Amino acid sequence: MFIVNSYALAVLFCFITMMCWGSWGNTQKLASKSWRYELFYWDYVIGMVLFTLVVGFTMGSIGSEGRSFLPDLAQADARGVGSVVLGGVIFNASNILLSASVAMAGLSVAFSLGVGLALVLGVVVNYVGAPKGDPVILFLGVALIVAAIVCNGIASQRVQSGGTQRAQFRKGVALAVVAGVLMSLFYRFVAAAMDLDHFENPTPGMLTPYSAVFIFSLGVLASNFVFNTWVMKRPFDGEPVAYRDYFKGSFSTHLVGMLGGAIWCLGTTFSYIAAGKAGAAVSYALGQGAPMVAAVWGVFVWKEFRGGGRTVNGLLALMFALFIAGLGLIIVAGGN
């Protein structure tokens, strides 16, 4: 299987993770023009599962180091599989809530609050589980990114809350907070099933990133029949939707949703691959800079901050400056 053997390449993979985690929401915005997010989410999960197979049979099956994809699946022990599946279930509950928040409060607000909270809590959880890197520099970098996320959230609220029904906006914010708490937990359950220090010769029974992310996606798919079915019948906003509505979507609409799942899954796979060299906390922290990527899309593509005035523009400039400084410190921390 393909293994990252240098810290510089691990950081590059983490940046790709950040881009993917911060960009998949664009596919939901594209689909939302004619498609409810509950229906979009089925395609998102299907795209995730299919992409894990593509990665497993390509990157996960080449090279002479480690175990290739199918043999690694065959030797996995039940405890590790259960931990990864649990991570998938927790993630799915979180991501459905995040998708609902995007639909109700906007991309920038949902990501800044939900993913920002997940960043803070998740770095603590992952560092305690697998300490690697300088903790002082790491958490200082996280603090700067948190400050950037706060700036993003304030700017988003100033622009969007006035044009959104107040009750709907508050509900979207609440969903983002719950999503963030749940999202902070899933990564560690998956990382715990992998031998992060010995990808080239993994401990028997433990998983490689490629098999782990495939099992993870199956956990997401299985739980989706419970979580998303419930949300379809009792939506957070709007009228209930039925399974028959899903089959009314066009081929291109379904592809957009699958593309969203593939984008997220590419980022997640690269994050777990990089964790072997950078450590779970650093890999997770860099990837969870996604709110800033979402903010870039919001500012320059979706024009979510149009008409915000001088104060909003100043907050956005400060946000990007804090973000870049925080990422730099996280990179330095992982190299120590």
Q: Is the pLDDT of residue 336 over 70?
A: no
Q: Is the pLDDT of residue 3 over 80?
A: yes
Domain definitions of the chain by residue range: 7-130+161-305
CA dist 21 and 9 (Å) reads 18
DSSP state of 58: T
Instruction: State the pTM of this model.
Output: 0.89
Distance CA 94, CA 218 (A): 16
Cα-Cα-Cα-Cα dihedral of 84, 87, 88, 92, to 10°? 180
pLDDT tens figures, 75-94: 999 999 999 999 999 999 99
Strand, coil or helix: what is 202? coil
Query: Tens of pLDDT along 134-182?
Result: 899 989 988 998 898 788 778 877 775 555 566 787 888 899 999 999 9
Q: Which residue has the tokens 């520099």?
A: 137
Average pLDDT over residues 85-112: 89
> What is the number of other CB atoms lying within 10 angstroms of the CB of residue 108?
27
Banded model confidence at residue 297, pLDDT cuts 50, 70, 90: confident
191-211 confidence digits (pLDDT tens): 999 988 889 889 999 999 999
Highest mean pLDDT among 19-28, 188-197, 257-266: 257-266
Asked if residues 274 and 266 have their Cβ atoms less than 8 Å apart, the reply is no
Cα–Cα distance, 110 to 179 (Å, whole number): 9
Residue 335: pLDDT over 80: no
